[in-house]
Structure 1
Amino acid sequence: MDQLSSRTVAVFSRSFTLPGFDEALPAGEYDIETELSAPPDLLNPQAWKASVLVHLHPRKSHPGLTRSLTVSLADLDSARVKDKLSGKELSAFLFEEMLADPMVRLVMQSDGVSETQIRHLYSGLGISEPDGERHD
């Protein structure tokens, strides 16, 4: 049975790091290979976790040396999100995604809560009640 895999390219606009790898990787395009199913010789296929093979750029000191790194799909996704955010934390990205959700907007509207109040709350400054009273 052939191993099912997907090939794609990840583009990073800034240098980045991956957990378990002590080298900062330069910005640029990286070829990515993702296994879509557990390897056939794996003893416990249920314990298999998706991972990706990242083809690294050669070092300037060893231009002909090809290198690759196997990382979890979650770690690669986290690095890509951080790069997309230009240094913002993942929680800030998720917060912005939440505010962009139409269902969240409808709930905010029905509860009479503004985006400013939500941003104020999540910034750690608290939320101000429209009538000056707090309802706990």
Structure 2
Amino acid sequence: MNTRSSRSMVTFTHSFSLPGYSDDFPAGEYEVIVEEEALHGLSFEAYRRTATYLIVQGKGDRAGHTEMRPTTEKDLDATLGRDRAFANDANASEAALSPLEDLK
């Protein structure tokens, strides 16, 4: 079985939670590792995702520890979508609260 891994970075602008975990994660940049396996018997090269991990750096008494938190692509995408929506709502609220210019 041929496997491959890829790494990417995601940024959360607000604290967030992931399904399956009781703790909240602080806003910031996180590394994501995706593992895939080759699909054989096709006339072209194709891979199937087998695992998605969010890399979490320990804080406080866990400082110096790094954890690979298993998640799903669906849960990670949904969490990023909520973060973007929250940021867009916050920006719209701030714009709505800005003072109006005097029109002359």
Verify same fold: TM over 0.5: yes
Unpaired runs of 5+ residues, structure 2, are 39-47, 89-104
Whether the aligned pair in 1 keeps the contact of 2:8 and 2:32 (CA below 8 Å) is yes
1:37 equivalent in structure 2 = 37
1:59-111 superposed Cα distances (whole Å, 9 cap, x missing partner): 211211111200011000000000011178xxxxxxxxxxxxxxxxxxxxxxx
Matched, 1:68 2:64: no
- Count of aligned residue pairs for this structure pair: 79
Root mean square deviation of aligned Cα: 2.1
The CA distance in 2 between the partners of 1:87 and 1:28, in whole Å, is 13
2:53 equivalent in structure 1 = 53
The CA distance in 1 between the partners of 2:59 and 2:68, in whole Å, is 12
Whether the aligned pair in 1 keeps the contact of 2:13 and 2:87 (CA below 8 Å) is no
Three-state SS of the structure 2 residue aligned to 1:15 is coil
The structure where helix makes up a greater share of residues is: 1
Whether the aligned pair in 1 keeps the contact of 2:10 and 2:32 (CA below 8 Å) is yes
Larger Rg: 1
Matched, 1:78 2:78: yes
1:15 equivalent in structure 2 = 15
The CA distance in 2 between the partners of 1:73 and 1:79, in whole Å, is 10
Amino acid at match of 2:16: F
Whether the aligned pair in 2 keeps the contact of 1:8 and 1:33 (CA below 8 Å) is yes
Higher relative contact order (CA 8 A, sep 6+): 2
Q: Which ranges of 4 or more aligned residues in structure 1 deviate by more than 4 Å?
A: none
CA drift of 1:51 comes to: 3.2
CA drift of 1:36 comes to: 2.4
Unpaired runs of 5+ residues, structure 1, are 39-47, 89-136
Three-state SS of the structure 2 residue aligned to 1:85 is helix
Q: Sequence identity, in percent? A: 29
**Residues 49 and 6 (structure 1 numbering): CA distance in 2 closer, same or farther, change over 3 Å?**
closer
